[in-house]
Amino acid sequence: MDRDWGSKPGSGGAASAQSEAIDRRERLRRLALETIDLAKDPYFMRNHLGSYECKLCLTLHNNEGNYLAHTQGKRHQTNLAKRAAREAKEAPVLPQPHKRKVTVKKSVKIGRPGYRVTKQFDPETKQRSLLFQIEYPEIEDNTKPRHRFMSSYEQRVQSFDKRYQYLLFAAEPYEIIAFKVPSTEIDKSTPKFFSHWDPDSKMFTLQLYFKAKPPEASKGQPAPATNGTAAPGVPSRPMPPPPQGAPPPPPPTQGPPPMGNPPRAPPPSLSGSVPPPPPPIANGPRPMPPGGNLPAPPPPPVGSGTMANFTPGAQMGRPPMPPPPPQGFPGQGARPPPPPPSMG
């Protein structure tokens, strides 16, 4: 069935005016949010109910789009104009600063002028001076050359150096020329510092004197170190104290120093009081008994143990001891060996 009016079947029908208005407002809201930042709006506020308020007009809005539409309306714009007029009326009137208008005169430069610099020295005051003579044969009529001092940090032609300053001369239509002079204080008293312009010879003359340094500052720098590595202006290091005498040598030792174990003390004499015998030494010869007679050595062990081939005095690199002499008088038998000392 063909239809002469309406939409096609299944297309959802034609949009009503209300639906078109809702869609248009939504598109405008999205476009406004992209261009307007509500966080920077001083009159936009969100209350505790979730809705939005305009603090200027005291109106309530359900969403951000409704608030943006309100900001473009007549009521909001009128309140904005009233607020701006009231603030301008209440603001104090401040005097405007006087701005001096400087007209920059543009002229074609014809080059640098000729100059002559003379160095002078006054033997009475110990001051050095400079005499500048600048020639401006083609200077403009009714004009005089100008000069000024410039710090090393003002110019941008050379690197900064606080030891120097610049003296500039300018006159139209010549280029500005500058002289690099020491950054010493200039004596600007009347007879020593003067400038003169001679309109007949077209020569500008300027003379300046540098102040003499005080006696403390004119003293020479301290002598450099012996090796020549001391920098100028740095105080020299103090001299080290004189070397003291060498310490006394140690007392000479009797003979070469002992190697290994220290030597044993001599045996005590048999007369008088006899000191107690020293403790027995493991694997060594036994001390002599108080009677002066050496005991008979013990019989060698029998068997194949670790002490089978033991020889007294063979330890510590000492030669073996000879067998003891027979004890007793001739013709008497040998005494039995004394019992071994108790180790308990």
The more confident residue out of 16 and 62 is: 62
pLDDT (average), residues 214-218:
59
- Higher per-residue pLDDT: 142 or 29: 142
What are the tens digits of pLDDT across the range 304-324? 555 555 555 444 455 566 666
- Residue 314, pLDDT score: 47
CB atoms within 10 A of CB 285: 14
pLDDT tens digit string along 115-127? 999 999 988 888 9
Percent of residues, the chain, with pLDDT higher than 70: 58
Residue with the larger pLDDT of the pair 159 and 298: 159
pLDDT value at position 164? 93
Q: What are phi and psi of 192, to 5 degrees?
A: -105, -35
Going by pLDDT thresholds of 50, 70 and 90, the confidence category of residue 68 is confident
What mean pLDDT comes out for the span 247-262?
59
List the structure tokens of 200: 């007949």
- Comparison of pLDDT for 275 and 196, the residue scoring more: 196
Sign of CA dihedral 48, 50, 55, 60: negative
Mean pLDDT within 284-294: 58
pLDDT in tens, 86-102: 998 888 877 777 777 77
- Asked whether 63 and 53 are in contact (CB, 8 A), the reply is no
Q: What is the mean pLDDT of the chain?
A: 76
What is the C-alpha to C-alpha distance for residues 142 and 138, in angstroms, rounded to an integer? 12
pLDDT band at 28 (very low <50, low <70, confident <90, very high): confident
Average pLDDT over residues 234-238: 64
* Alpha carbon separation from 81 to 42, 84, 88, 157 (Å, rounded): 15, 5, 11, 54
pLDDT given at position 104 = 75
Q: For residue 6, what pLDDT is reported?
A: 57
Q: What is the mean predicted confidence (pLDDT) over 198-211?
A: 92
pLDDT at 179 > cutoff 60: yes
pLDDT at 299: 64
- Tell me the pairing of strands 146-151 and 127-135: unpaired
CA distance 297 to 290: 17
Provide mean pLDDT across the span 240-259: 62
Which one has a higher pLDDT value, 98 or 1?
98
Is residue 174 within 8 A of residue 110, CB to CB? The reply is yes
- What amino acid occupies position 26? E
Q: What is the pLDDT of residues 105-115, one digit of tens each?
A: 777 888 999 99
pLDDT of residue 72 exceeding 90 = no
Angle at 185 between CA 183 and CA 186, to 5 degrees: 110
